[in-house]
Amino acid sequence: MFTKVMKAIKVIAMPLLFIVAIIACEGDIEDVGVGIVDRGLFDINEQNFDIISYSQNDLEVKANSLGQYLLGVYKNDDFGQINAGLAGQLTFFSSLDFGIDPAIDSVILNIPYQATRSEVDNSDGSPNWELDSIYGNQDVEYTLSVHELETFLNTLDPSSPQINLDYYSDETYLFNEIPLFEGSFKPNKNDTVLYIHRKEIILDEATNTYQIDTIKSSISSPSIKLPLDKVYFTDNFFTHPEAFTSSAAFVTFFNGLYLEASKISAADEPSIMSLAMSNASMNLYYTNSVSDVRTTQTATFAFGGVISNTYLREYEGSRAQTAIDNPDVINGDERLFLNGAAGSIALIDLFVDEDLEELRANNWLINEANLIFYIDDTADLEVIPERLYLYNYENETHIGDVLMEGLDVFGGDLERDDAGIPIRYKFKITNYIADILDDIDPIELTQLALKVFNISDIPTQLLDIKVKDYSWTPKGIIVHGSNSEVIDKRVKLEVIYSEKD
């Protein structure tokens, strides 16, 4: 561990020392550089090295404490289908007393969409919103159900109480099979206002007109609003006042909610949405008696504590199925299938059939080293990642070039041609290859992995050398592998180096 930490410090510190050296010796360096080039002391050469690459299933990823949570159903021909649900605890900030003779008017599960307000409002002056981070056909309905969660979500590991407990995407949760809500659903950007019928607040007895409250966010943004079973909450919440003395007592009494998404018919191809959940809540609107007057009240239960996604992926009938089920680990695959959200990654072996000791004895100066992945022309390009990520698979660490040069230099961005058509992803791993071929103190050659980039992949601290096991993007792409029949699009290791005449 000490060796790894020291290597990380070295990798991060080197650019700073290099900058200082440039500032201190700028004139001398310029003179030396020109002299070397002018005198032709070095020849620039390029060599491509074969690699072996193949796809691998990645069905288990960490699914709690995420920046985004998926909900819905998404399918395409390349990667099959993913169903995303979630389990979450509900909390409140202090003790709660429902008062005298409470009666529920409505219970609403409210989850804000991620949305952007258009610069041009609607014709009636109301805000015009566009929903973000929704993939698939938003016009196709699917079934959304909400259940009482029957699995208690521990925040700490029972076997090691000092450690936070992680939840994974393939967890199985127990829940009450009688839903609190079940119905057809599709995203709705116009779902901005909620009307609560306060039937016990009579405004006109002659006409039996009662109070209707209009509830909307301060910026009138859209949100999912699911009406939950009032009878259940009347029978359970109002009859157990001891459960509302603290949040700790409450989460023991009521484990939380489980949200499940499923297709209405097998032929449907609906959508999946990414939700922040930071402002999601269950709101209990009720009326009680205060000084013999019926008064409207609201109890808000925020999503807090543990929230975890569930991903159910089905590859059957997809293009990815064969490559995932039967990867060619000896010769490499023709295509690499890369998909986020507990999907698939690619494993990469460098310098196959090469004598590393012989290469190191060449004492090359590595000018540049690249891995380039070309997109399969027949891939579904509707929902594709804008970036891929390359990392050390065996010990789940960042490649040194990320820490040393930064993400922009390291690469992995989607590149397009002049017509805007996606063509490839390129990684510059110069320092990594130089360290492997170092003839004095080389680093160990290990297997690499290629995945769909997740924002959590970015190192956040000085010694943040571990790659976090998170993935909440359903995007996917097919790229040519090391055994592609299109030879000029096979992935190879491209090394540009200098050596003395």
Residue range 306-347, pLDDT digits in tens? 999 999 999 999 999 999 999 999 999 999 999 999 999 999
Query: How far, in Å, CA of 325 to CA of 344, rounded?
Result: 11
Say how many C-beta atoms besides its own lie within 10 A of residue 279's C-beta: 14
Q: Comparing C-alpha atoms, which of 351, 174, 368 is closest to residue 255?
A: 174
Task: List, for residues 177-208, the tens digit of each pLDDT value.
Answer: 999 999 999 999 999 999 999 999 999 889 99
**Would you say residue 6 has pLDDT above 70?**
no
Task: List, for residues 119-140, the tens digit of each pLDDT value.
Answer: 898 888 888 999 999 999 999 9
**Would you say residue 30 has pLDDT above 80?**
no
**Would you say residue 462 has pLDDT above 70?**
no
In sequence order, the β-bridge partners of residue 81 are 75, 314
Cβ pair 322, 404 in contact under 8 A: no
Query: What pLDDT score was predicted for residue 388?
Result: 98
Three-state DSSP at 408 gives helix
Three-state DSSP at 407 gives helix
Could you identify the residue written with the tokens 């909440």? 472
Query: What pLDDT score was predicted for residue 36?
Result: 32
Token pair of 417 as six digits: 């041609």
List b or e across 109-127, with b for residues whose CB sees 16 or more CB atoms inside 10 angstroms: bbbbbebeeeeeeeeeeee
**Would you say residue 8 has pLDDT above 50?**
no
